[in-house]
């Protein structure tokens, strides 16, 4: 059954590719002030395009850093309102000498479009914009209300997103977020991301004496802060790599049969996963590796230091040791309670005579979860099933997605990641590329998901 | 029974103190090139004094760094030759604002002479020189042959001592070394130092992956280099603080009854020892704390680091971890074999999938030991017993004494430390002082020990 909007989009493919290349030539590196012009060019390009396709209230939203580009079309009364998220900033391109072709000269090679930002996320951002464009061009209407929100600070950790939301809260209000960033977990099967792990972190210090002591004078008589730190850190996991902190995963939702089946169905080669980074597997056999990195909590020491760490040697008994710890959380876990369990473990295992101080760094977020019956999930299922007839596999991300957490926390909006980039595209590295085949794939899916979303009551998104 | 040489010395006390103050006014800080003049002044002062008292061949010995001051008197045929060791360089005086009176303005206060270098070791060095001076002045002869060797780099770790010895080997040849640096372990009892612990050290690295991994993507699936490092370090000691490395102390000489009795007789307040530095005791009850820090080997991690150690957080799974380890060795232990045991332990406890590389830093030395019947010990016993009638307590140092090790290793010479400074004099800190009472005490003892040493055959010193 032919779809005139999709036909229109596919007919416009070469224009859309030309536009994408124009956008990719603008070096919009948010981390480096030297690229201010590239940032301004990309903003102007997107604002112009939003205006051209019929968006209203097109403007820059200033949260104190690089502004976001905004534009809306709100003429679908009674229909859901979707905040369409993308970002126009890109990672720095260094090291430049490792690029086969220059990062800001988009180049097609072997079915791939090479350029900084092609995959992350100018390609998918433009797919979203052009899908709305064709809906408006062909049908003179969009099935849902849309608000484009194109961020300029995603690659620097969205430092001014919270103040920006606080300032423009009314403008950004929507029933849910549809993100052009992230979502596809495999090229082999269709997937729907239904959540991400939460996170929390802390730093702690051990002190065993007033200052470092001379090992000739005290060696054999006193506690060494590094020995104590080692024993404490070692006690956090068992020998098979399981977290050994009492109560740590007490609140973690048990895996459902469907989750385990989805995870098993997902194509995942454990050996290749480890071999790619020359890592050594660890964790205990009661969960598969894929379950452990997406559905289960974990705890990692991210940094540890103490004593003399310069060149040569210094025969001291260090009096102070430090460690940074982060945890990843499963659905159901309260970030504070999980960290409390870690702190309680450290306190319980810290011997007399060793002073423990804990600094909770803050910045915690719970795991995010889209329930299987959430309109965002149901809509995505209908769209993605269309391609193969197979039910898309539900996957969760092992990492946290700050944007998603912030939208949920500040405005109660759930996010569906519906980008068309793939996880094997080297997004923060040299020779970033976006598969050309993903462009028609995205242009086919985006009008459909907007139509599917239109079939739900607005209230259903936050139910 | 009056001793004319000692009488002469005690009569000259105020002149000697004036000379000491003059020497202390010269800021001979070897670590800082800004003090080159102070170094040159101190050298000239000592060379002039050696010449004045009748030393011959007075000269500067250049090993490539700060030269040493040398002078000899070799007119006691058939008698032993003693290399009298002292040093004219001092520690930097920083932090200056913590000195009650300026570091290079020697000031008497409450029976103490405050100045940088007063205790370490200009005071004892001058006692040695003036003792020989009075022997020559009163008796026109010294009971033994003497070679003064006054180093200028002790406080910077004697970097050019080995090349200096190689160049001036014939000049420095002697039967034994009598050191004006170190020796007294207590103000309450007379002690003789009969040795010091040996030492060895290493650095090692663990690698668990090609690079740091994102904890969101890999957390729960892979080994973390810091967890592995913690487990390895924790395995080196048991929970009571004993070294848990198989074979580590296999060669350590068992403590003799006399050693245990000496150690028990030595006034040592465990609680005060720990409380002074706010440390927490550790080690196991089968040896006393004093035995553990002087007679038993130990192992300390001196530095440990890996992962992200800057401000804030970085949610990585570190792929590399580092540690520096030093060991202190008891008499009988071979430094290489003891370190071999540590390396073997690390290898045995390092799991598959974790790459261990060991860097033996070098600079090892075995424990030094003066046998109870060594002429240096017997001579010191006779001199120090004279004061109280009590047998001096034999003690060993927990630290290594590089000078002693170097003289033993390069020239086969044993060293008796016969300085009159005390361990509670803050030698590397602000407000260094030397007790004024130690001056007559030293001036009384030095002529006596030279006479006692003269009663031994030269060959007995290296027997």
- Written as one string, the DSSP assignment of A424-447 is TS-TTSTT-EEETTHHHHHHHHHH
Interchain CB distance below 8 Å, A215 and B283: no
Interchain CB distance below 8 Å, B313 and A328: no
Shortest Cα distance, chain B CAs vs residue A232, angstroms: 8
User: Which residue in chain A is spatially nearest to B226 when comparing CA positions?
Assistant: A301
Q: With bands split at pLDDT 50, 70 and 90, how would you rate the model's confidence at B428?
A: confident
User: Which residue in chain B is spatially nearest to A237 when comparing CA positions?
Assistant: B227
Q: Convert the pLDDT of each residue in A63-74 to its tens digit.
A: 999 999 999 999
Residue B264, both tokens: 């028990």
A390 occurs within a structural domain: yes
Give pLDDT, residue B382: 96
Q: How far apart are CA A299 and CA A238, in angstroms?
A: 12
User: Which residue in chain B is spatially nearest to A423 when comparing CA positions?
Assistant: B217
Residue B254, both tokens: 């068992």
Range in A239-253, A398-412, A413-427 the model is least confident about: A398-412
The CATH code of the domain that includes A224 is: 3.30.70.360
Q: With bands split at pLDDT 50, 70 and 90, how would you rate the model's confidence at A321?
A: very high
Range B365-379 average pLDDT: 95
A216 occurs within a structural domain: yes
Nearest CA to A326 out of B215, B321, B207 is that of B215
Q: Which of B333, B360, B387 is the last residue of a domain?
A: B360
Contact B150, B132 (CB under 8 A): no
Cβ-nearest to B224 among A301, A312, A399: A301
Q: Which of B322, B345, B360 is the last residue of a domain?
A: B360
Give pLDDT, residue B388: 75
All residues at 6 or more sequence positions from A164 whose CB lies less than 8 Å from its CB, including other chains = A61, A62, A63, A64, A68
Interchain CB distance below 8 Å, B224 and A300: yes
- pLDDT at residue B318 above 70? yes
Say whether both B130 and B236 belong to one domain: no
B423 occurs within a structural domain: yes
Range in A365-374, B327-336, B383-392 the model is least confident about: B383-392
Give pLDDT, residue B1: 65
Residue B363, both tokens: 């600079």
Contact B193, B431 (CB under 8 A): no
Cβ-nearest to A220 among B292, B352, B400: B292
Say whether both A82 and A162 belong to one domain: yes
A266 occurs within a structural domain: no
Give pLDDT, residue A299: 98
All residues at 6 or more sequence positions from B316 whose CB lies less than 8 Å from its CB, including other chains = A300, A302, B212, B213, B214, B215, B307, B308
A441 occurs within a structural domain: yes
Handedness of CA B284, B285, B289, B292 (dihedral sign): negative
Phi-psi region of A56 (alpha: psi -120 to 50; beta: other; left: phi over 0): beta
Q: Convert the pLDDT of each residue in B147-174 to its tens digit.
A: 999 999 999 889 999 999 999 999 999 9
- pLDDT at residue A384 above 70? yes
Range A309-321 average pLDDT: 92
Q: How many residues does chain A have?
A: 463
Q: With bands split at pLDDT 50, 70 and 90, how would you rate the model's confidence at A365?
A: confident
Q: Convert the pLDDT of each residue in B185-231 to its tens digit.
A: 999 999 999 999 999 999 999 999 999 999 999 999 999 999 999 99
- pLDDT at residue A34 above 90? yes
Say whether both B94 and B185 belong to one domain: yes
A67 occurs within a structural domain: yes
What is the residue range of B12's domain? 4-195+367-462
In DSSP notation, B116-172 reads TTIIIIIHHHHHHHHHHHHHHHHHSS-SSEEEEEEES-GGGT-TTHHHHHHHSHHHH
Q: Which residues of chain B are within 8 Å of residue A283 when distances are taken between CB atoms?
A: 220-221
Cβ-nearest to A277 among B209, B229, B279: B209
Q: Which of B338, B360, B382 is the last residue of a domain?
A: B360
B310 three-state secondary structure: coil
Contact A450, A118 (CB under 8 A): no
Shortest Cα distance, chain B CAs vs residue A454, angstroms: 33
Say whether both A304 and A174 belong to one domain: no
Residue A344, both tokens: 């309680």
Contact A61, A70 (CB under 8 A): yes
A vs B, Cβ pairs < 8 A, gives 291
Residue B14, both tokens: 């105020």
Q: Which residues of chain B are within 8 Å of residue A252 when distances are taken between CB atoms?
A: none
Token look-up 């670590």 returns B31
| Secondary element (H or E) of residue A307 | strand A298-307
Interchain CB distance below 8 Å, B304 and A230: yes
Interchain CB distance below 8 Å, B293 and A220: yes
CA A185 to chain centre: 12
Say whether both B325 and B187 belong to one domain: no
Residue B101, both tokens: 């009176």
Give pLDDT, residue A351: 96
Q: Which residues of chain B are within 8 Å of residue A301 when distances are taken between CB atoms?
A: 224, 226-227, 230, 307, 318
Say whether both B323 and B393 belong to one domain: no
Shortest Cα distance, chain A CAs vs residue B430, angstroms: 16
Give pLDDT, residue A44: 98
Number of domains in chain A: 2
Cβ-nearest to A223 among B280, B308, B354: B280
Say whether both B324 and B433 belong to one domain: no
Say whether both B347 and B383 belong to one domain: no
B205, B207, B211, B217 alpha-carbon torsion, rounded to 10°: -130
Interchain CB distance below 8 Å, A326 and B315: yes
Q: Can you state the angle between helices A438-453 and A4-11, rounded to 10 degrees?
A: 150
Say whether both A209 and A187 belong to one domain: no
Nearest CA to A451 out of A147, A138, A177, A144 is that of A144
Nearest CA to B453 out of B182, B127, B171, B84 is that of B84
Give pLDDT, residue A1: 65
Range A355-360 average pLDDT: 97
User: Which residue in chain A is spatially nearest to B207 when comparing CA positions?
Assistant: A279
A28 occurs within a structural domain: yes
Nearest CA to A234 out of B214, B224, B207 is that of B224
Residue to substitute from A199, A211, A222, interface B, most B β-carbons within 10 A = A222
Range A383-410 average pLDDT: 90
- pLDDT at residue A306 above 70? yes
Phi-psi region of B50 (alpha: psi -120 to 50; beta: other; left: phi over 0): alpha
Backbone angles phi, psi at B304, to 5 degrees: -150, 135
User: Which residue in chain B is spatially nearest to A285 when comparing CA positions?
Assistant: B221
Q: How far apart are CA A353 and CA B415, in angstroms?
A: 39
Phi-psi region of B117 (alpha: psi -120 to 50; beta: other; left: phi over 0): left
A216 three-state secondary structure: helix
Give pLDDT, residue A402: 82
Give pLDDT, residue A401: 84
Q: Cα–Cα distances in Å, from A126 out to A17, A171, B130, B210, B280? A: 9, 22, 91, 35, 63
Say whether both A319 and A422 belong to one domain: no
Give pLDDT, residue B252: 97
A61 three-state secondary structure: strand
Phi-psi region of B284 (alpha: psi -120 to 50; beta: other; left: phi over 0): left
Range B453-458 average pLDDT: 98
Residue to substitute from B223, B302, B306, interface A, most A β-carbons within 10 A = B302
Q: How far apart are the first and last CA of chain A?
A: 33
Shortest Cα distance, chain A CAs vs residue B265, angstroms: 18
Q: How far apart are CA B59 and CA B63, in angstroms?
A: 13
Q: Convert the pLDDT of each residue in B257-310 to its tens digit.
A: 999 999 999 999 999 999 999 999 999 999 999 999 999 999 999 999 999 999
A182 three-state secondary structure: coil
Give pLDDT, residue A104: 98
Contact A182, A125 (CB under 8 A): no
| Secondary element (H or E) of residue B191 | strand B191-196
Instruction: Check residues A390 and B36 and name the one with the higher pLDDT.
Output: B36
Interchain CB distance below 8 Å, A210 and B278: yes
User: Which residue in chain B is spatially nearest to A273 when comparing CA positions?
Assistant: B218
Interchain CB distance below 8 Å, B354 and A400: no
ipTM of the complex: 0.90
Contact A368, A404 (CB under 8 A): yes
Q: How far apart are CA A395 and CA A157, in angstroms?
A: 24
Contact A419, A179 (CB under 8 A): yes
Residue B414, both tokens: 């044993």
Nearest CA to B262 out of B365, B443, B390, B134 is that of B390
What's B29's DSSP letter?
B
Say whether both A48 and A120 belong to one domain: yes
The CATH code of the domain that includes B445 is: 3.40.630.10
Query: Is residue B13 packed enough to be buried (19+ CB in 10 Å), middle (13-18) or exposed (0-12)?
Result: middle
B152 occurs within a structural domain: yes
Contact B409, B167 (CB under 8 A): no
User: Which residue in chain B is spatially nearest to A320 when comparing CA positions?
Assistant: B303
Say whether both A168 and A93 belong to one domain: yes
């Amino acid at each position: 059954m032919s779809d005139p909007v999709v036909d229109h989009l596919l007919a416009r493919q070469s224009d859309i590719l030309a536009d994408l290349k124009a956008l990719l030539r603008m070096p919009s590196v948010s981390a480096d002030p030297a690229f201010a012009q590239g940032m301004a060019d990309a903003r102007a390009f997107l604002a112009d395009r939003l205006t051209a396709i019929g968006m209203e209230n097109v403007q820059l939203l200033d949260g104190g850093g690089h502004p976001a580009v905004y534009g809306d079309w709100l003429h679908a009364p009674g229909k859901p309102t979707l905040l369409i998220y993308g970002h126009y900033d890109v990672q720095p391109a260094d090291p430049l000498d490792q690029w086969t072709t220059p990062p800001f000269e988009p180049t097609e090679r072997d079915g791939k479009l090479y350029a900084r930002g092609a995959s992350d996320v100018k390609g998918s951002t433009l797919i979203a914009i052009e899908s709305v464009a064709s809906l408006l061009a062909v049908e003179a209407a969009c099935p849902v209300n849309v608000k484009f929100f194109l961020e300029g600070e995603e690659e620097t950790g969205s430092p001014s997103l919270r103040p920006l939301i606080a300032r423009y809260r009314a403008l950004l209000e929507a029933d849910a977020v549809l993100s052009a960033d992230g979502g596809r977990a495999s090229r082999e099967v269709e997937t729907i991301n239904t959540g991400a792990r939460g996170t929390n972190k802390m730093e702690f210090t051990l002190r065993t004496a007033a200052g470092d002591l001379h090992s000739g004078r005290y060696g054999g008589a006193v506690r060494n802060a590094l020995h104590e730190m080692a024993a404490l850190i070692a006690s956090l996991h068992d020998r098979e790599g399981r977290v050994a902190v009492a109560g740590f995963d007490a609140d973690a939702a048990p895996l459902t049969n469907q989750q385990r089946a989805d995870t098993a169905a997902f194509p995942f080669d454990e050996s290749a996963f480890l071999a790619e980074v020359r890592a050594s597997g660890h964790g205990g056999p009661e969960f598969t590796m894929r379950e452990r990195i997406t559905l289960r909590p974990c705890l990692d020491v991210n940094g540890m230091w103490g004593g003399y760490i310069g060149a040569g040697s210094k025969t001291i008994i260090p009096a102070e040791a430090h460690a940074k710890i982060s945890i990843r959380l499963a659905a159901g876990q309260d970030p504070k309670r999980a960290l409390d369990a870690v702190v309680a473990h450290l306190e319980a295992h810290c011997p007399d005579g060793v002073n423990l101080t804990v600094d909770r760094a803050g910045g915690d977020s719970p795991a995010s979860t889209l329930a299987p019956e959430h309109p965002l999930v149901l809509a995505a299922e209908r769209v993605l099933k269309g391609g193969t007839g197979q039910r898309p596999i539900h996957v969760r991300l092992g990492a946290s997605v700050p944007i998603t957490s912030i939208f949920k926390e500040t405005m109660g909006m759930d996010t569906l990641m519906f980008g068309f980039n793939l996880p094997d595209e080297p997004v923060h590295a040299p020779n970033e590329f976006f598969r050309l085949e993903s462009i028609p794939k995205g242009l086919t899916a985006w009008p459909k998901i907007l139509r599917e979303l239109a079939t739900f009551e607005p209230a259903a998104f936050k139910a």
